[in-house]
Amino acid sequence: MYLPCESLGTRLTPMFRAYIAKELIEKHGFTQVEAAKKLGITQAAISQYLRSKRGAKDLRELKAFLPVIESAASEVANKIASGRINSSEAALKICEICLYIRKKNLGI
């Protein structure tokens, strides 16, 4: 059985992480290593996000939802930077966005 979240989530998660990583580094002064620790990923993954080697391939398909994704990523980055959210709570935000996009696509 293939769940709808699996398909969208595998495309949305790297994009969401990429936006959070960029926010943490560019706006909050985190190093790549610090951002990686906060997101529970490797520094190499952060480097690839910053160079658009990861997290950018499904941009065309999700372009209509880009403002929602960017806004949520900015909110999560601000909360991470201020210590008000951990990586598990940040991951739940991806689920919220995924559900929102699925509902909009289905016209619910």
Instruction: Please report, in tens digits, the pLDDT of each residue of the chain (108 residues total).
Output: 777 777 778 888 888 899 999 999 999 999 999 999 999 999 999 999 999 888 776 666 778 888 998 999 999 999 999 999 987 888 888 888 888 888 887 554
Question: Domain ranges in the chain?
Answer: 4-106
pLDDT of res. 58 = 62
Sign of CA dihedral 103, 12, 97, 27: negative
- In angstroms, the first-to-last Cα distance of the chain is 23
Cα 94 to Cα 7, 17, 42, 57, distances in angstroms: 13, 9, 19, 17
Cα 55 to Cα 45, 64, 103, distances in angstroms: 10, 16, 22
